[in-house]
Amino acid sequence: MKNNQKTMLVTGASRGIGASIALLASQEGYKVGINYNNSKDAALKLVETIQKNGGQAVAIQADVSQSLQVTRMFEEFDAAFGKLDVLINNAGQLASFMITEVDEKNLSGLYGANVFSVYYCAREAVKRMSTQSGGKGGVIVNMSSVAARLGGLGGGSGYAGTKGALDSFNLSLAKEVGAFGIRVNAVRPGLISTEIHNVHGGIAPMEQMAKNVVPMGRAGGPDEVAKVVVWLASDGASYVHGSIVDVAGGR
């Protein structure tokens, strides 16, 4: 049964996995906040699609690697929907640079997008959800990657490092807030057919590689990740906490 009272904020939701999560969540009755940084047109189109299908959604611009912008984003979400039930920390970027190319700009940008953003958004979510501060509990789902345990592709040490940090954060946060009515879990996608792979030459080469390295013989689709994320947010996963679910075709 759909629950039109629940709300969800999805960061990095204008395209790819984030957009699939937002769309599926709206179909399950969630009021959805669609965060974007630069892809305004895509975010507004997704909001329009959700509304045409009878759902409720709002697009909120913010660079989630910036603490003050995250605070503003949550305030705009509050104004739109009044409360927060679920946070999906999906925003992030895929980067490829060799260790000899590391500098302050590429490393700080990558960790800002993939790690700092998760801390900032979780901070604001916990303030709102925690029963210790008058909230009614909630769910946080963090988007990791199998790169955290496989090391990623060549030139992927920076990216893999951010996702390894996120895996540790996920478990630690679960221990910190579990007693306050907040469930925390993560999802580790494998090779998924989205535009994020443009940094490695595009979707087609990635899908070809998947045929050789993924036991199931194919890349996954963003909708396949979204279904797991939305399940983790649901009451069906009520005793799943501090876990990481691989969605990687056996890789």
CATH number at residue 142: 3.40.50.720
pLDDT digits (tens, 9 = 90+) for 103-143: 999 999 999 999 999 999 999 999 999 999 999 999 999 99
200 pLDDT higher than 80: no
In a domain, 1, yes or no: no
pLDDT of residue 152: 87
What confidence tier does 153 reach under pLDDT thresholds 50, 70, 90? confident
201 pLDDT higher than 70: no
198 pLDDT higher than 60: no
Q: What is the pTM (predicted TM-score) of this model?
A: 0.94
Which burial class, exposed, middle or buried, applies to 20 when counting CB atoms under 10 A from its CB (0-12, 13-18, 19+)? buried
Catalytically active residues, by annotation? 159
In a domain, 141, yes or no: yes
Q: Which domain holds residue 140?
A: 7-247
pLDDT of residue 202: 60
In a domain, 210, yes or no: yes
CA-to-CA dists, residue 69 to 75, 174, 219, 250, angstroms: 10, 25, 34, 38
pLDDT of residue 3: 44
Report the run of H or E that residue 60 belongs to, with start and end. strand 56-61
Number of domains the chain contains: 1
Q: What percent of the chain has pLDDT over 90?
A: 87
